[in-house]
Structure 1
Amino acid sequence: MTPDEFVALLRDHWPRTLAALDPAAREQLASALRKLADSTEPQAAQAAMRGLRRVLRDLPDEHPVTRALRDGVRFAGSVDAPLLDRQPLLALLGSLQGPPPLDPVRARLLAAPSLPAAGIGAAAGDPRLIRLRHPELGDRYPRFQFEEGTDRPLPVVGVINRLLMADRDPWGAADWWLGGNSWLGGVPADLLGSVPDEELALAARELVEGD
Protein backbone atom coordinates (compact mmCIF):
# COMPACT_ATOMS: atom_id res chain seq x y z
CA MET A 1 0.00 0.00 0.00
CA THR A 2 1.31 3.44 -0.96
CA PRO A 3 1.01 6.51 1.32
CA ASP A 4 -1.70 7.95 -0.95
CA GLU A 5 -3.69 4.73 -0.68
CA PHE A 6 -3.23 4.76 3.09
CA VAL A 7 -4.46 8.36 3.35
CA ALA A 8 -7.51 7.45 1.22
CA LEU A 9 -8.26 4.54 3.55
CA LEU A 10 -7.86 6.80 6.57
CA ARG A 11 -10.26 9.30 4.99
CA ASP A 12 -12.85 6.58 4.32
CA HIS A 13 -12.79 5.55 8.00
CA TRP A 14 -12.14 8.99 9.50
CA PRO A 15 -15.12 9.30 11.92
CA ARG A 16 -14.52 5.80 13.27
CA THR A 17 -10.80 6.51 13.64
CA LEU A 18 -11.24 9.78 15.52
CA ALA A 19 -13.89 8.27 17.79
CA ALA A 20 -11.34 5.67 18.93
CA LEU A 21 -8.70 8.28 19.88
CA ASP A 22 -8.54 10.42 23.00
CA PRO A 23 -7.83 14.19 22.71
CA ALA A 24 -4.07 13.77 23.24
CA ALA A 25 -3.87 11.12 20.51
CA ARG A 26 -5.85 13.35 18.12
CA GLU A 27 -3.31 16.13 18.68
CA GLN A 28 -0.50 13.70 17.91
CA LEU A 29 -2.38 12.58 14.81
CA ALA A 30 -2.69 16.18 13.62
CA SER A 31 1.04 16.73 14.15
CA ALA A 32 1.96 13.59 12.18
CA LEU A 33 -0.40 14.49 9.32
CA ARG A 34 1.01 18.02 9.20
CA LYS A 35 4.56 16.69 9.00
CA LEU A 36 3.53 14.31 6.25
CA ALA A 37 1.84 17.10 4.30
CA ASP A 38 4.93 19.32 4.66
CA SER A 39 7.46 16.65 3.71
CA THR A 40 9.41 17.15 0.50
CA GLU A 41 12.03 14.45 0.99
CA PRO A 42 11.47 10.69 1.22
CA GLN A 43 13.24 10.51 4.57
CA ALA A 44 10.97 13.16 6.08
CA ALA A 45 7.87 11.48 4.67
CA GLN A 46 8.94 8.11 6.03
CA ALA A 47 9.55 9.64 9.47
CA ALA A 48 6.08 11.19 9.36
CA MET A 49 4.58 7.82 8.44
CA ARG A 50 6.33 6.25 11.41
CA GLY A 51 4.74 8.93 13.59
CA LEU A 52 1.34 8.06 12.14
CA ARG A 53 1.91 4.39 12.89
CA ARG A 54 2.74 5.19 16.52
CA VAL A 55 -0.44 7.24 16.95
CA LEU A 56 -2.69 4.68 15.28
CA ARG A 57 -1.19 1.50 16.76
CA ASP A 58 -3.76 1.45 19.59
CA LEU A 59 -6.78 1.33 17.26
CA PRO A 60 -8.93 -1.80 17.70
CA ASP A 61 -7.59 -4.91 15.99
CA GLU A 62 -10.60 -5.09 13.67
CA HIS A 63 -10.18 -1.51 12.41
CA PRO A 64 -9.38 -1.41 8.65
CA VAL A 65 -6.55 1.07 9.28
CA THR A 66 -4.97 -1.35 11.75
CA ARG A 67 -4.97 -4.09 9.13
CA ALA A 68 -3.38 -1.74 6.58
CA LEU A 69 -0.62 -0.81 9.01
CA ARG A 70 0.15 -4.47 9.53
CA ASP A 71 0.55 -4.89 5.78
CA GLY A 72 2.91 -1.92 5.59
CA VAL A 73 2.98 1.41 3.74
CA ARG A 74 5.66 1.75 1.08
CA PHE A 75 6.92 4.63 -1.04
CA ALA A 76 7.46 3.78 -4.69
CA GLY A 77 7.79 5.39 -8.08
CA SER A 78 10.08 7.88 -9.74
CA VAL A 79 12.26 10.02 -7.51
CA ASP A 80 11.10 13.03 -9.54
CA ALA A 81 7.42 12.36 -8.85
CA PRO A 82 5.61 14.13 -5.97
CA LEU A 83 5.77 12.13 -2.77
CA LEU A 84 2.00 12.22 -2.24
CA ASP A 85 -1.16 14.17 -2.93
CA ARG A 86 -1.42 16.82 -0.22
CA GLN A 87 -5.05 17.84 -0.78
CA PRO A 88 -6.59 14.82 1.06
CA LEU A 89 -4.12 15.39 3.90
CA LEU A 90 -5.11 19.04 4.21
CA ALA A 91 -8.79 18.05 4.20
CA LEU A 92 -8.18 15.63 7.09
CA LEU A 93 -6.29 18.30 9.01
CA GLY A 94 -9.14 20.76 8.49
CA SER A 95 -11.66 18.27 9.86
CA LEU A 96 -9.65 17.98 13.08
CA GLN A 97 -10.87 21.42 14.10
CA GLY A 98 -13.68 21.19 16.65
CA PRO A 99 -15.09 18.08 18.37
CA PRO A 100 -14.43 14.75 16.64
CA PRO A 101 -17.27 13.20 14.66
CA LEU A 102 -18.97 10.13 16.05
CA ASP A 103 -19.35 6.95 14.10
CA PRO A 104 -23.02 5.95 13.60
CA VAL A 105 -22.99 3.15 16.19
CA ARG A 106 -21.59 5.32 18.97
CA ALA A 107 -23.89 8.19 18.03
CA ARG A 108 -26.87 5.83 18.37
CA LEU A 109 -25.71 4.53 21.76
CA LEU A 110 -25.05 8.02 23.11
CA ALA A 111 -28.53 9.11 21.98
CA ALA A 112 -30.15 6.63 24.39
CA PRO A 113 -31.29 8.01 27.79
CA SER A 114 -28.35 8.30 30.16
CA LEU A 115 -27.16 9.83 33.41
CA PRO A 116 -24.02 11.82 34.20
CA ALA A 117 -21.55 10.59 36.80
CA ALA A 118 -22.83 13.27 39.19
CA GLY A 119 -26.33 11.83 38.89
CA ILE A 120 -25.58 8.31 40.13
CA GLY A 121 -23.79 9.01 43.39
CA ALA A 122 -21.61 6.23 44.76
CA ALA A 123 -22.20 4.06 41.68
CA ALA A 124 -19.97 6.32 39.56
CA GLY A 125 -16.85 4.42 38.58
CA ASP A 126 -18.34 1.00 39.36
CA PRO A 127 -16.64 -1.36 36.85
CA ARG A 128 -19.87 -3.38 36.60
CA LEU A 129 -21.60 -0.42 34.94
CA ILE A 130 -21.31 0.69 31.34
CA ARG A 131 -19.66 4.09 31.13
CA LEU A 132 -19.62 5.80 27.73
CA ARG A 133 -17.47 8.81 26.96
CA HIS A 134 -19.39 11.62 25.25
CA PRO A 135 -17.08 14.05 23.40
CA GLU A 136 -18.94 17.07 24.78
CA LEU A 137 -20.82 15.88 27.87
CA GLY A 138 -18.17 13.66 29.44
CA ASP A 139 -18.94 10.31 31.07
CA ARG A 140 -22.50 9.03 30.59
CA TYR A 141 -24.14 5.95 32.12
CA PRO A 142 -27.00 4.44 30.07
CA ARG A 143 -30.22 4.89 32.07
CA PHE A 144 -31.48 1.32 31.69
CA GLN A 145 -28.83 0.15 34.18
CA PHE A 146 -30.66 1.68 37.15
CA GLU A 147 -33.91 1.04 38.96
CA GLU A 148 -36.64 3.31 37.66
CA GLY A 149 -36.45 6.76 39.22
CA THR A 150 -33.38 5.95 41.32
CA ASP A 151 -29.59 5.83 41.07
CA ARG A 152 -29.47 2.21 42.27
CA PRO A 153 -27.93 -0.21 39.72
CA LEU A 154 -30.01 -3.24 38.82
CA PRO A 155 -28.23 -6.40 40.09
CA VAL A 156 -28.84 -8.32 36.86
CA VAL A 157 -27.19 -5.53 34.88
CA GLY A 158 -24.00 -5.93 36.90
CA VAL A 159 -24.01 -9.68 36.34
CA ILE A 160 -24.51 -9.39 32.60
CA ASN A 161 -22.05 -6.51 32.22
CA ARG A 162 -19.38 -8.69 33.78
CA LEU A 163 -20.15 -11.40 31.21
CA LEU A 164 -19.92 -8.81 28.44
CA MET A 165 -16.66 -7.39 29.89
CA ALA A 166 -18.15 -3.91 30.00
CA ASP A 167 -15.12 -2.57 31.84
CA ARG A 168 -12.97 -3.40 28.79
CA ASP A 169 -15.48 -2.90 25.97
CA PRO A 170 -18.25 -0.57 27.17
CA TRP A 171 -19.40 0.23 23.63
CA GLY A 172 -19.81 -3.43 22.75
CA ALA A 173 -21.71 -4.10 25.97
CA ALA A 174 -23.97 -1.09 25.37
CA ASP A 175 -24.64 -2.27 21.83
CA TRP A 176 -25.75 -5.67 23.15
CA TRP A 177 -28.19 -4.07 25.60
CA LEU A 178 -29.54 -1.45 23.20
CA GLY A 179 -29.62 -3.46 19.97
CA GLY A 180 -32.07 -6.03 18.71
CA ASN A 181 -31.53 -9.57 20.00
CA SER A 182 -33.02 -12.41 17.97
CA TRP A 183 -32.48 -14.92 20.80
CA LEU A 184 -34.65 -12.80 23.14
CA GLY A 185 -36.93 -11.45 20.44
CA GLY A 186 -36.40 -7.82 21.41
CA VAL A 187 -34.02 -5.22 22.80
CA PRO A 188 -32.50 -6.52 26.06
CA ALA A 189 -32.67 -3.14 27.82
CA ASP A 190 -36.40 -2.91 27.03
CA LEU A 191 -37.00 -6.41 28.40
CA LEU A 192 -35.66 -5.70 31.90
CA GLY A 193 -38.41 -6.51 34.37
CA SER A 194 -40.57 -8.32 31.84
CA VAL A 195 -38.21 -11.18 31.02
CA PRO A 196 -36.71 -13.23 33.88
CA ASP A 197 -33.22 -12.11 34.85
CA GLU A 198 -31.95 -15.65 34.32
CA GLU A 199 -33.13 -15.61 30.71
CA LEU A 200 -31.37 -12.30 30.01
CA ALA A 201 -28.17 -13.62 31.58
CA LEU A 202 -28.43 -16.83 29.56
CA ALA A 203 -28.71 -14.83 26.32
CA ALA A 204 -25.55 -12.90 27.21
CA ARG A 205 -23.76 -16.09 28.18
CA GLU A 206 -24.72 -17.69 24.87
CA LEU A 207 -23.15 -14.74 23.06
CA VAL A 208 -19.92 -14.89 25.06
CA GLU A 209 -19.52 -18.65 24.90
CA GLY A 210 -20.48 -18.66 21.24
CA ASP A 211 -17.52 -16.36 20.52
Structure 2
Amino acid sequence: MTPDEFVALLRDHWPRTLAELDPAAREELATALRKLADSTEPQAVQAALRGLRRVLRGLPDEHPVTRALREGVRFAGTADAPVLDRQPLLALLGSLHGPPPLDPVRARLLASPSRPAADIGAATGDPGLIRLRHPELGDRYPLFQFEAGTDRPLPVVGVINRLLMADRDPWGAADWWLGGNRWLGGVPADLLGSVPDAQLTLAARELVEGDL
Protein backbone atom coordinates (compact mmCIF):
# COMPACT_ATOMS: atom_id res chain seq x y z
CA MET A 1 0.00 0.00 0.00
CA THR A 2 1.41 3.37 -1.04
CA PRO A 3 1.14 6.51 1.11
CA ASP A 4 -1.51 7.82 -1.31
CA GLU A 5 -3.52 4.61 -0.99
CA PHE A 6 -3.39 4.82 2.79
CA VAL A 7 -4.52 8.47 2.76
CA ALA A 8 -7.32 7.53 0.32
CA LEU A 9 -8.49 4.77 2.67
CA LEU A 10 -8.47 7.22 5.55
CA ARG A 11 -10.38 9.78 3.48
CA ASP A 12 -13.04 7.22 2.52
CA HIS A 13 -13.71 6.49 6.20
CA TRP A 14 -13.00 9.96 7.58
CA PRO A 15 -16.32 10.70 9.37
CA ARG A 16 -16.29 7.29 11.04
CA THR A 17 -12.63 7.74 12.00
CA LEU A 18 -13.15 11.11 13.66
CA ALA A 19 -16.24 9.89 15.50
CA GLU A 20 -14.12 7.20 17.17
CA LEU A 21 -11.43 9.62 18.41
CA ASP A 22 -11.63 11.86 21.46
CA PRO A 23 -10.48 15.52 21.19
CA ALA A 24 -6.93 14.72 22.36
CA ALA A 25 -6.57 11.95 19.78
CA ARG A 26 -7.90 14.25 17.05
CA GLU A 27 -5.21 16.77 17.97
CA GLU A 28 -2.58 14.04 17.65
CA LEU A 29 -4.08 13.08 14.31
CA ALA A 30 -3.87 16.70 13.10
CA THR A 31 -0.21 16.89 14.15
CA ALA A 32 0.59 13.65 12.33
CA LEU A 33 -1.18 14.81 9.17
CA ARG A 34 0.66 18.16 9.20
CA LYS A 35 4.00 16.40 9.51
CA LEU A 36 3.08 14.16 6.62
CA ALA A 37 1.95 17.09 4.46
CA ASP A 38 5.19 18.97 5.22
CA SER A 39 7.49 16.01 4.55
CA THR A 40 9.51 16.06 1.36
CA GLU A 41 12.34 13.60 1.99
CA PRO A 42 11.61 9.85 1.82
CA GLN A 43 12.74 9.23 5.38
CA ALA A 44 10.60 12.08 6.69
CA VAL A 45 7.57 10.72 4.85
CA GLN A 46 8.10 7.27 6.34
CA ALA A 47 8.54 8.71 9.86
CA ALA A 48 5.38 10.80 9.50
CA LEU A 49 3.44 7.76 8.32
CA ARG A 50 4.60 5.78 11.34
CA GLY A 51 3.35 8.58 13.59
CA LEU A 52 0.00 8.57 11.79
CA ARG A 53 -0.33 4.83 12.23
CA ARG A 54 0.39 5.11 15.97
CA VAL A 55 -2.57 7.48 16.39
CA LEU A 56 -4.87 5.25 14.35
CA ARG A 57 -4.07 2.11 16.33
CA GLY A 58 -6.63 3.36 18.86
CA LEU A 59 -9.49 2.74 16.42
CA PRO A 60 -11.87 -0.20 17.05
CA ASP A 61 -10.97 -3.63 15.68
CA GLU A 62 -13.77 -3.57 13.09
CA HIS A 63 -12.70 -0.23 11.56
CA PRO A 64 -11.49 -0.63 7.93
CA VAL A 65 -8.29 1.33 8.67
CA THR A 66 -7.56 -0.96 11.62
CA ARG A 67 -8.01 -4.00 9.39
CA ALA A 68 -5.54 -2.55 6.88
CA LEU A 69 -2.97 -1.95 9.62
CA ARG A 70 -3.49 -5.42 11.04
CA GLU A 71 -3.00 -7.04 7.64
CA GLY A 72 0.40 -5.40 7.34
CA VAL A 73 0.60 -2.12 5.49
CA ARG A 74 3.69 -1.68 3.37
CA PHE A 75 4.29 1.82 2.08
CA ALA A 76 5.68 1.73 -1.44
CA GLY A 77 7.46 4.50 -3.29
CA THR A 78 10.78 5.23 -4.92
CA ALA A 79 13.86 5.95 -2.88
CA ASP A 80 14.02 9.44 -4.38
CA ALA A 81 10.38 10.49 -4.14
CA PRO A 82 7.71 8.52 -2.31
CA VAL A 83 4.29 8.90 -3.89
CA LEU A 84 2.45 11.57 -1.92
CA ASP A 85 -0.34 13.85 -3.13
CA ARG A 86 -0.68 16.66 -0.60
CA GLN A 87 -4.09 17.94 -1.70
CA PRO A 88 -6.08 15.14 0.02
CA LEU A 89 -4.01 15.67 3.16
CA LEU A 90 -4.77 19.39 3.19
CA ALA A 91 -8.48 18.64 2.70
CA LEU A 92 -8.46 16.27 5.69
CA LEU A 93 -6.68 18.87 7.82
CA GLY A 94 -9.23 21.51 6.87
CA SER A 95 -12.09 19.28 8.00
CA LEU A 96 -10.59 18.91 11.49
CA HIS A 97 -11.84 22.37 12.51
CA GLY A 98 -15.10 22.24 14.43
CA PRO A 99 -17.00 19.09 15.44
CA PRO A 100 -16.17 15.95 13.48
CA PRO A 101 -18.50 15.15 10.59
CA LEU A 102 -20.95 12.28 10.92
CA ASP A 103 -21.73 9.69 8.32
CA PRO A 104 -25.47 9.41 7.50
CA VAL A 105 -26.02 6.22 9.51
CA ARG A 106 -24.50 7.62 12.70
CA ALA A 107 -26.31 10.93 12.24
CA ARG A 108 -29.61 9.01 12.03
CA LEU A 109 -28.85 6.96 15.14
CA LEU A 110 -27.82 10.02 17.15
CA ALA A 111 -31.01 11.80 16.10
CA SER A 112 -33.13 9.20 17.92
CA PRO A 113 -34.28 10.04 21.50
CA SER A 114 -31.46 9.51 23.99
CA ARG A 115 -30.27 10.36 27.49
CA PRO A 116 -26.94 11.67 28.80
CA ALA A 117 -24.90 9.60 31.22
CA ALA A 118 -25.78 11.96 34.10
CA ASP A 119 -29.44 10.96 33.80
CA ILE A 120 -28.98 7.24 34.31
CA GLY A 121 -26.51 7.06 37.19
CA ALA A 122 -25.05 3.65 37.99
CA ALA A 123 -26.51 2.12 34.84
CA THR A 124 -23.74 3.79 32.81
CA GLY A 125 -21.43 0.92 33.79
CA ASP A 126 -23.77 -1.74 32.42
CA PRO A 127 -22.06 -3.55 29.49
CA GLY A 128 -25.51 -4.48 28.22
CA LEU A 129 -26.32 -0.87 27.38
CA ILE A 130 -25.63 0.83 24.07
CA ARG A 131 -23.54 3.97 24.53
CA LEU A 132 -23.05 6.23 21.52
CA ARG A 133 -20.50 9.03 21.43
CA HIS A 134 -21.97 12.31 20.20
CA PRO A 135 -19.26 14.69 18.88
CA GLU A 136 -20.75 17.67 20.74
CA LEU A 137 -22.92 16.21 23.53
CA GLY A 138 -20.68 13.39 24.72
CA ASP A 139 -21.92 9.91 25.57
CA ARG A 140 -25.59 9.29 24.84
CA TYR A 141 -27.76 6.28 25.70
CA PRO A 142 -30.67 5.54 23.31
CA LEU A 143 -33.92 6.02 25.22
CA PHE A 144 -35.62 2.79 24.12
CA GLN A 145 -33.29 0.83 26.41
CA PHE A 146 -35.02 1.99 29.62
CA GLU A 147 -38.32 1.42 31.34
CA ALA A 148 -40.51 4.47 30.76
CA GLY A 149 -39.80 7.27 33.21
CA THR A 150 -36.99 5.41 35.00
CA ASP A 151 -33.26 4.76 34.67
CA ARG A 152 -33.80 0.98 34.82
CA PRO A 153 -32.67 -0.88 31.69
CA LEU A 154 -35.20 -3.26 30.16
CA PRO A 155 -34.01 -6.85 30.82
CA VAL A 156 -34.62 -7.99 27.22
CA VAL A 157 -32.55 -5.07 25.93
CA GLY A 158 -29.57 -6.23 27.99
CA VAL A 159 -29.92 -9.79 26.72
CA ILE A 160 -30.10 -8.73 23.08
CA ASN A 161 -27.35 -6.12 23.38
CA ARG A 162 -25.01 -8.80 24.68
CA LEU A 163 -25.94 -11.02 21.75
CA LEU A 164 -25.17 -8.13 19.39
CA MET A 165 -21.88 -7.42 21.25
CA ALA A 166 -22.96 -3.83 21.90
CA ASP A 167 -19.92 -3.23 24.10
CA ARG A 168 -17.67 -3.80 21.06
CA ASP A 169 -19.90 -2.46 18.28
CA PRO A 170 -22.46 -0.06 19.80
CA TRP A 171 -23.26 1.52 16.44
CA GLY A 172 -24.08 -1.83 14.86
CA ALA A 173 -26.28 -2.80 17.81
CA ALA A 174 -28.08 0.56 17.72
CA ASP A 175 -28.65 0.18 13.98
CA TRP A 176 -30.31 -3.21 14.58
CA TRP A 177 -32.68 -1.76 17.16
CA LEU A 178 -33.49 1.43 15.27
CA GLY A 179 -33.61 0.09 11.70
CA GLY A 180 -36.32 -1.81 9.89
CA ASN A 181 -36.39 -5.56 10.47
CA ARG A 182 -38.18 -7.66 7.86
CA TRP A 183 -38.23 -10.73 10.09
CA LEU A 184 -40.12 -8.82 12.79
CA GLY A 185 -42.07 -6.62 10.39
CA GLY A 186 -41.03 -3.37 12.02
CA VAL A 187 -38.39 -1.48 13.98
CA PRO A 188 -37.29 -3.61 16.97
CA ALA A 189 -37.13 -0.64 19.37
CA ASP A 190 -40.72 0.28 18.49
CA LEU A 191 -41.88 -3.29 19.09
CA LEU A 192 -40.69 -3.47 22.70
CA GLY A 193 -43.68 -4.36 24.86
CA SER A 194 -45.90 -5.31 21.91
CA VAL A 195 -43.87 -8.25 20.60
CA PRO A 196 -42.88 -11.03 23.03
CA ASP A 197 -39.35 -10.68 24.38
CA ALA A 198 -38.58 -14.20 23.18
CA GLN A 199 -39.45 -13.22 19.61
CA LEU A 200 -37.19 -10.17 19.70
CA THR A 201 -34.37 -12.27 21.15
CA LEU A 202 -34.83 -14.93 18.49
CA ALA A 203 -34.61 -12.31 15.74
CA ALA A 204 -31.30 -11.03 17.16
CA ARG A 205 -30.00 -14.57 17.62
CA GLU A 206 -30.84 -15.42 14.01
CA LEU A 207 -28.81 -12.41 12.87
CA VAL A 208 -25.79 -13.32 15.01
CA GLU A 209 -25.80 -16.99 14.14
CA GLY A 210 -26.28 -16.17 10.47
CA ASP A 211 -23.06 -14.10 10.60
CA LEU A 212 -20.99 -16.95 12.01
Structure 1 length as normaliser, TM-score?
Answer: 0.89
CA distance in 2: counterparts of 1:58 and 1:124, whole angstroms? 22
Partner of 1:33: 33
Q: CA deviation at 1:167?
A: 2.1
Partner of 1:48: 48
Aligned identity (percent) is 86
Partner of 1:104: 104
CA contact (8 A) 1:40 1:83 kept: no
Partner of 2:88: 88
CA distance in 1: counterparts of 2:169 and 2:118, whole angstroms? 22
Partner of 2:205: 205
Partner of 1:186: 186
CA contact (8 A) 2:131 2:141 kept: yes
Deviation per residue, 1:12-54 (Å, 9 max, x gap)? 2211221222222222211111111111211111011111122
Q: CA deviation at 1:155?
A: 1.6
1:130 aligns with 2:130: yes
Q: Does the residue aligned with 2:125 lie in a helix, a strand or coil?
A: coil
Partner of 2:75: 74
Residue identity matched to 1:76: G
Residue identity matched to 2:203: A
Structure 1 unpaired stretches of 5+: none
Q: CA deviation at 1:78?
A: 7.1
Partner of 2:23: 23
Q: Compared with structure 1, are the counterparts of its residues 85 and 171 closer, same or farther at alpha carbon in structure 2 (3 Å cutoff)?
A: same
Partner of 2:150: 150
CA distance in 2: counterparts of 1:111 and 1:32, whole angstroms? 32
CA distance in 1: counterparts of 2:74 and 2:123, whole angstroms? 46
Q: CA deviation at 1:7?
A: 1.8
Q: CA deviation at 1:62?
A: 4.5
CA distance in 2: counterparts of 1:167 and 1:71, whole angstroms? 26
Q: Compared with structure 1, are the counterparts of its residues 34 and 132 closer, same or farther at alpha carbon in structure 2 (3 Å cutoff)?
A: same
Superposed CA RMSD in Å reads 2.0
CA contact (8 A) 2:29 2:55 kept: yes
Q: Compared with structure 1, are the counterparts of its residues 47 and 163 closer, same or farther at alpha carbon in structure 2 (3 Å cutoff)?
A: same
Q: Compared with structure 1, are the counterparts of its residues 55 and 186 closer, same or farther at alpha carbon in structure 2 (3 Å cutoff)?
A: same
CA contact (8 A) 2:100 2:135 kept: yes
Aligned length: 210
Name which of structure 1's ranges 164-173 and 44-53 shifts more when overlaid on structure 2: 164-173
CA distance in 1: counterparts of 2:82 and 2:125, whole angstroms? 51
CA distance in 2: counterparts of 1:68 and 1:169, whole angstroms? 18
Q: Compared with structure 1, are the counterparts of its residues 68 and 169 closer, same or farther at alpha carbon in structure 2 (3 Å cutoff)?
A: closer
CA contact (8 A) 1:132 1:140 kept: yes
Q: Does the residue aligned with 1:128 lie in a helix, a strand or coil?
A: coil
Structure 2 length as normaliser, TM-score?
Answer: 0.89
